[in-house]
Amino acid sequence: MILQRGRLRPFSGTLTGEDPFRVIEDGAVLIDDDGEVVDHGDARTMIAVHPDTTVVPTDALLTPGLADAHAHYSQTRILGTYVGGLLEWLEAVVFPEEVRFADPAYARAVAREFLDRCEAAGTTDVTVYATSHPASVDALFAEAQDRTLRVTAGLVMMDRNAPSPLLTAAQEVYDESLALIRRWHGAQDGRFTYAITPRFAPTSTPALLEAAAALWREHPTCIMQTHLAESEAEVAWVRRLFPDAPDYLGVFERHGLVGPGAIFAHAIHVSDREVGLLAEAGATVAHCPTANRVLGSGRCDVARLLAAGVEVRLGTDVGAGTTFDIMEVAAEAEGVPRRRRSF
């Protein structure tokens, strides 16, 4: 047993009602022989209560693990490469890079880099898009097996409007996803979760969305993740591709893809109807402010989402986002409480 002593951000399991700025300047956490934190508090009390422990001082901030609700591990090596807006960047940079993940060795190498960088940033829970190659999902989960991160991830489903090596017909991607769910969902004592991952509406036919919906109906404890209304050009394109849908979220709604356990990234250009539906359905928005800034996508009105009762989580959106560090994302996020301070 050791007592790590330093500046501590205590956490009792829920943020509700807690002072988000509470810090114990001289704190300590008790770590047992399995590496688990089993107690925390101010250092003097901890030393008195646990006298037979070795005290190890640290300069680092002692903080609970950080959670990243939206990242693409396949974009680790293209972080910081921006060309135009979202749709131009996807075509010019993202899709050519994702084609490389047909090589399982490449996927495994990038998975290692991605998880190393998550860990270095203090992230212990990450929700991830792989690519359209089933081996890219295997690479990520396999690489995470000997680590302690909680990983939620899935095969990217696309059947139109992307380069042909990245497209998979609806039935085939259903079969591939099902095999991956059976292999990885709930594995490692529940540390791994499978995410059904239709990339976004423009790369989906109704048949593909129906395949995603069938998977989710049959495996309701999986997460469903996609992108929603990130850029104005994307929203206009969705209106042309799905003329019968009332709005962007309506495309997912008609397939039963809006509910608890659904994570919609960005959700910038949304109507009051869409915000109301997200709240009523218990869906989550992944707010990715660094990505929104660099791609010029617009500003997500997080206060509006929160006021309507939508659950909002933070995402790095690597590699549109600029950083792996959720602390940096939080510093840039809308709707986060700010400490008022007079010097």
Residues contributing to the site for ligand GUN (CB under 6 A): 72, 86, 90, 94, 199-200, 227, 230, 291, 317, 320
Distance CA 323, CA 118 (A): 10
Edge-to-edge order in the sheet of strand 37-42: 37-42, 24-31, 2-8, 54-57
Count of residues of this chain found to bind Zn ion when the rule CB under 5 A is applied: 2
Nearest approach in angstroms of CB 184 to ligand GUN is: 21
Cα dihedral across residues 99, 75, 83, 236: positive or negative: positive
- 133 contact, one of ligand GUN, Zn ion, none, CB 5-8 Å limit per kind: none
Min CB(82)–Zn ion separation in Å: 14
Torsion sign (Cα): 96, 102, 104, 108: positive
Site for Zn ion in 261-290 (CB under 5 A): 265
Reading phi first (left if > 0) and then psi (alpha if -120 to 50, else beta), residue 338 is in: beta
Query: 208 or 228, CB closer to Zn ion?
Result: 228
**Residue 3 or 156 having the CB closest to Zn ion:** 156
CB of 211 to ligand GUN, least distance (A): 18
Closer residue to ligand GUN in complex, CB, 89/192: 89
d(CA 131, CA 110): 12
| Residues 79 and 318: beta-carbon distance below 8 Å | yes
CB of 40 to Zn ion, least distance (A): 34
The residues with which 161 forms a beta bridge, in sequence order, are none
β-bridge mates for residue 123, sequence order: 66
For the segment 301-330, give every residue that binds Zn ion (CB under 5 A): 317
Picked from ligand GUN, Zn ion, none, the partner binding residue 325 (CB below 5 to 8 A depending on kind) is none
CB 265 to Zn ion: min, Å: 5
CA distance 335 to 304: 9
Q: Which helix (H) or strand (E) holds 176?
A: helix 170-184
The maximal CA–CA distance of the chain, rounded, in angstroms, is: 69
- Distance in angstroms (rounded) separating the CA atoms of residues 126 and 217: 23
| Single-letter residue type at 282 | G
Q: Which is nearer to ligand GUN, 213 or 288 (CB)?
A: 288
Length of the chain measured in residues: 343
Q: Looking only at residues 247 through 266 of this chain, which bind Zn ion when binding is defined by CB under 5 A?
A: 265
User: Residue 222 or 288: which CB sits closer to Zn ion?
Assistant: 288
Closest CA to 148 of 185, 104, 190: 190
Pick 46 or 230: Cβ nearer ligand GUN: 230
In the complex with Zn ion, which residue's Cβ is closer, 211 or 295? 295
Q: Please choose which of Zn ion, ligand GUN, none residue 86 contacts, taking the beta carbon within 5 to 8 angstroms, the exact cut-off set by kind.
A: ligand GUN
Output the six-digit token pair for 32: 């047992």
- The minimum distance between CB 153 and Zn ion, in angstroms, equals 13
Min CB(197)–ligand GUN separation in Å: 10
Give the footprint of Zn ion on this chain (CB under 5 A).
265, 317
